[in-house]
Amino acid sequence: MDMKLGILFGGRGEEHPISVKSARMVADNLDSSKYEPYWIGITQRGAWVLCDGPADGWEDRGRPAVISPDSSRPGLLVLDGDRHETLELDVVLPVLHGKTGEDGSIQGLLELSGIPYVGCDIPSSALCMDKSLTYLVVRSAGIATPNFWIVWADEPVDAGQFVYPVFVKPARSGSSFGVNKVDSPEDLPAALEAARQYDSKLLIEEAVVGSEIGCAVLGNDPDLVVGEVDRIALTHGFFKIHQEATPEQGSDNATFIVPADIPAEARSRVQETAKAVYRALGCRGLSRVDLFLKEDGQVVLNEVNTMPGLTSYSRYPRMMTASGMTRTEMIDRLISLTLTGKQQ
């Protein structure tokens, strides 16, 4: 009998379009001989819809449906007027990014439901979503992070206290939304205002000089698998591919080099650091750990994405493919990990 797989995608946040594209990658690579998919899309208005898949127009072609938080009667409640039917699900894959997707919110609902789900749990999701908390935990494990300052809401900021350039970021957002590089004190107020569109808690962060390196991690501690590391080669600015008009056709300012063109010893150090970060934060299932590799060889954490993009142009599946794992195998491995708690 096929396993009943609930796939959540969409969401109300700014990363809604990215999530839909990630779901399309899953649809294209899911092993139909093993899984019976139930596609549960969340519209930008917040409506939940059981649909045939993430193709264009899915919002208007489905039935209202919600995951029951009642663990004594778990499943997907499909609504039809005053009546409903309950569909049992064996496992849920939440292909949701950013707020309400990676911050522990959907993980909390799934914990209440009692349905096993792919990816990080509530504490690790919340820790990784808030970059300041991520840094504090990782520092306590002896791993380097950038220096940073927290700014709340309309708190006044003395622009003269920083050494420029700095980055201004929403503390709890993803895919570089609201992030700006600031080269002078005069530009700081505008960057703070831009970041406040996404969060009331902001970070002002020192700019780390080094190569931007990514590492895909898959598994549950202690059995972790890492993909080939990548390097982002920038012509100008900073990496923000998900905000570009046609990312499927390439980035305006970034090229991905996979495997990264760095020495073997540095590659191993990056991978071991990524695994140490993953363990320190209590991650499970998967995460993409983004790091800086400085000229002196030091590895510094940038950020952790607990449900990284799975689109056709995303880094996580590309790094796994470069290590010899197909996208179909990657999805299958993630589901197996969820159900068995160990690497298959």
Q: What is the CATH number of the domain that holds 7?
A: 3.40.50.20
pLDDT class of 342 with cuts at 50, 70, 90? very low
Which residues are paired to 98 by β-bridges?
none
Q: Is the pLDDT of residue 245 over 70?
A: no
Shared-domain flag, residues 104 and 159: no
Residues 6+ apart with CB under 8 A from 60: none
Shared-domain flag, residues 110 and 67: yes
Shared-domain flag, residues 235 and 200: no
Interval 168-193: pLDDT, tens: 999 998 767 899 999 999 999 999 99
- Residue-level pLDDT at 174: 72
Shared-domain flag, residues 91 and 50: yes
Residues of the domain holding 159: 148-206
Shared-domain flag, residues 100 and 230: no
Q: Give 52-100 as a DSSP string.
A: S-SSTTGGGSSEEEEE---TTS-SEEEEETTEEEEE--SEEEEE--STT
- Residue-level pLDDT at 238: 57
The model carries a pTM of 0.92
Interval 93-136: pLDDT, tens: 999 999 899 999 999 999 999 999 999 999 999 999 999 999 99
**Mean pLDDT of the 65-90 span:** 91
Q: What is the rounded distance in angstroms from the CA atom of residue 78 to the CA atom of residue 319?
A: 37
Q: What is the rounded distance in angstroms from the CA atom of residue 77 to the CA atom of residue 67?
A: 6
- Number of structural domains the chain divides into: 3
Q: Is the pLDDT of residue 22 over 70?
A: yes
**Does residue 13 sit in helix, strand or coil?**
coil
- Residue-level pLDDT at 231: 96
- Residue-level pLDDT at 83: 87
Shared-domain flag, residues 8 and 97: yes
Average pLDDT of the chain, as a whole number: 92
Shared-domain flag, residues 153 and 75: no
Q: What is the rounded distance in angstroms from the CA atom of residue 18 to the CA atom of residue 53?
A: 15
Written as one letter, the residue type at 304 is V
- Residue-level pLDDT at 199: 93
Shared-domain flag, residues 331 and 283: yes
**Mean pLDDT of the 256-266 span:** 96
Shared-domain flag, residues 244 and 215: yes
- Block residue for tokens 């499970």: 284
Shared-domain flag, residues 19 and 130: no
Shared-domain flag, residues 238 and 281: yes
Shared-domain flag, residues 158 and 31: no
Q: What is the CATH number of the domain that holds 309?
A: 3.30.470.20
**Mean pLDDT of the 37-65 span:** 95
Instruction: Tell me what percent of the residues of the chain surpass a pLDDT of 70.
Output: 93
- Residue-level pLDDT at 8: 98
